[in-house]
Amino acid sequence: MASQPSFPTKVKLAAAHSAPVYMSKSAILAKAIHLIHAAARDGVSMLVFPETYVPGYPYFIECYPPLKQVAALAKYAEGVFIAGGRGGGIKGTHRKLQPTYVERIIWAQGDGSTLMTWKGMLGPGEADGKEKSWNVGGLACWEHTMLLARQALITQQEHVHAAAWPALSTMTGFEETADSQIEALMKCHALTAQCFVVAASNYVDETCLEWMKENIGQQGPEILPFVWDKEAYWEAGKKKHELRVSEAKGEEEAKKA
């Protein structure tokens, strides 16, 4: 359990409620940078993005026969991207310990070497120049069901937990249970670790559905579109900054949004 800072402080944390421009690395990065800048202007210290925001979660593995996925898997491997951290550098990386279900045709298991918290990433030093004292950790998706993985972060004095999720509630037959399970897991970790949890999940938009149709073929109703007119980053339940979903196709469009 994390020891609490000995003096009061306030840190803004936020989750990016955003769909990637599916499989377009340059457009997604432009969109992410736009959100990051907007959050920074509002004083947000940490913005959490959904799982595999770049190049987008491979939903096609859930809804097409394996042999039809071969070309798509090759394209997906070309688009994989590792994100960096605050201040322009990479604070650290985390590799998912156990890919979930059919994710195993894309990713292999992690070895636990990246199961850690990053010390002093947040805290009062944000404003007054003092040494920061809050540690940040994170897990992806159903890693949160792995009790020992969560315990490993708890024993490393985790103060803030970044939880990255795909759009599980868009999968047919999982609509009602996905969000309730995610909410339960997030509240459980917040309670047992006595830390703050920021959970980010993307959603399926038309760029994802169209890419799958053009590159793999017509699918059945396995993946449901779950589209808002606006997308945003959220801070403590408040929608802060909006982007136009339909027009965020590339760098120029992202700049105009």
Bridge-partner residues for 16, per DSSP?
233
pLDDT along the chain (257 residues), means of 10: 57 87 91 89 89 91 85 81 58 86 87 88 62 86 94 95 87 78 94 94 84 85 52 57 38 41
pLDDT at 49: 93
pLDDT value of position 253? 38
Q: What is the pTM of this model?
A: 0.82
pLDDT (0 to 100) of residue 61: 87
Judge whether 220 and 213 are in contact, CB under 8 Å: no
Which tokens sit at 202? 């993307």
Tell me how far CA of residue 220 lies from CA of 43, 208, 212, 217, 240, in angstroms. Answer: 43, 14, 11, 10, 36
Distance in angstroms between the alpha carbons of the first and the last residue of the chain = 42
pLDDT of residue 142: 92
